[in-house]
Structure 1
């Protein structure tokens, strides 16, 4: 099942993406789950799936405005330097422990919405990544139990304002400009993608391929990331883990390849779909 958060006629909702458009599950759901995060917290995905039997789409996709998959996550953990080829291109060495930084919800944009280039920088860079959304909460989750805590998967473009990111050893500033990173287009539920699957990941800039890898090339896999983060603090329903980008980022090219106003960036992940954004000046 593909679940998406969206807006229709000024009202926020969530639904299931299907042939012909989207079913408005918030309108159908008698239990009154306020948003997709509330659905995950109630472990109600199966309940929603039952509502789809015999249903047709309520709206075509082009009538709704998609939102970031989870518009209001409690935490967005992003893993850096987590693909071997990316570590190599940056002149670094693989770390024994995952390297994480935090994003804020306001730094996210939805599929189809513009990624905003701040006027303070021309060094906007793409990073295609796989995102994990937590369903079942937990603390100190064992590696062998990590799969039980995943609600599903989405595409992510961890767009970075490189000069601000690299001003200090703390990366968070360059990762949190308003509406820079994009998250979408929808959540593919965990039953659709076996845990630990080797998924192809491709990033395109104006139709030209700029990144290609597979999730098997992660240094710290999904289970390791879940176990590590849940040691630091409880993982909660709706939390997002962005698992790292492969090689090919613009900053490491000669000359650097920055994304500019009017560009289109796509992140495609096998089994999920295509996250597409244009770039606009903020």
Structure 2
């Protein structure tokens, strides 16, 4: 199932995307479904089968909207945790001049960074070296603590896409990554959450990023150093993962920092990330107006 949050004529919906249609569970289920996907995920054992039945039986055409006419929203705008894994493709380690890590390299983003499909990424006033990073992101389905690798898949609800936007000058100036990684709009996410059954093997998905129509990153999740189960198990030894938590699994080679000459995002740029079975996340870039003295 492909789940989305969307708005139509200022009304908020959660729903299912089928082909060119967005089917509103909000309208189909009246008071049966919550208003946000995070709560839907918390109750997914009950609500996923119910959603499937209602969609199959649907005779309410007012609950079906053309995808082209709705505004796709961030699927989970305020997760408890946004956890990111750095240096998780060996070729990306090489292009950054860093050794492959012995264990997952972890950093966090905050909810201020989340924007949705077709939203703007804003270059902050204090950075001139803003980069793109295509990433497969895991959405946790139920509370997980002290989980083994063998159990980890049970705790996955599904997958989405994240663009781990990074201000490289701030990231490396600070000696730690937080300020350069979690500026406003630095975590475009979506457009959908695809349940794990529909997504297929998360370790064999084509992943690519285009910048202004040019392919910059082109790889496969089979090249991940640490697998999804390894990451979930590793994290759960230290922290309790909650439904709706998002884990970005790392980026493949081809980022702007690793190129000669380096490629930094600029006003007017357009980015599109495509991950097999998950979809395409597109965003555009704007320069902060204060940067120009306005």
Shift of 1:89: 1.0
Map residues 76-225 of structure 1 onto 2, 5 A cutoff: 76-225=82-231
Contact kept, 8 Å, 2:138 with 2:247, in 1: the verdict is yes
Runs of at least 5 residues in structure 1 that lack an aligned partner in the other structure: none
Task: Report matched runs for 1:192-271 at 5 Å.
Answer: 192-271=198-277
Secondary structure class of the residue paired with 1:167: helix
Deviation for aligned residue 1:32: 3.9
SS for the counterpart of 2:174 is: coil
Give the number of equivalent residue pairs. 282
C-alpha RMSD of matched pairs (Å): 1.4
Which residue in 2 is equivalent to 1:33? 34
User: Does the CA-based 8 Å contact 1:251-1:258 persist in structure 2?
Assistant: yes
Mark the CA change 1:255 to 1:241 in structure 2 (over 3 Å): closer, same or farther. Answer: same
SS at match of 1:164: helix
- Residue 46 of structure 1 corresponds to which residue in structure 2? 49
Which of residues 261, 284, 288 is equivalent to 1:278? 284
Return the TM-score normalized by structure 1.
0.95
Structure 2, unmatched stretches of 5+, are: 289-294
Give the Å deviation of 1:137. 1.6
Which structure has the greater CA radius of gyration?
Answer: 2
Once the two structures are superposed, residues 135-192 of structure 1 have per-residue CA deviations (whole angstroms, 9 ceiling, x without a partner) of 1221111101111111111111111111111112210111111112210110111111
- CA shift, 1:196, in A, is 4.2
- Per the alignment, residue 17 of structure 1 pairs with 17
What is the CA–CA distance in structure 2 between the aligned matches of 1:255 and 1:197, rounded to whole Å? 31
Are the structure 2 counterparts of residues 129 and 135 from structure 1 closer, same or farther at C-alpha, using a change threshold of 3 Å? same
Shift, 1:70, TM fit = 1.1
Cα distance in 1 between the residues matched to 2:78 and 2:264: 29
What does residue 68 of structure 1 align with? 74
Distance in 2 separating the partners of 1:48 and 1:123: 44
Specify the SS of the correspondent of 2:65: coil
Rounded Cα–Cα distance in structure 2 between residues aligned with 1:212 and 1:270: 12
Per-residue CA shift, 1:224-265, capped at 9, x if unaligned? 000011111111110000000011110121211011111110
Distance 1:173 1:41 in 2: 31
* 1:76-123 deviation per Cα after TM superposition (whole angstroms, max 9, x unaligned): 000001100011111111111101111111101111111111232221
Give runs of ≥4 in structure 1 deviating > 6 Å: none
Could you tell me how far apart the structure 1 residues matched to 2:134 and 2:145 are? Answer: 28
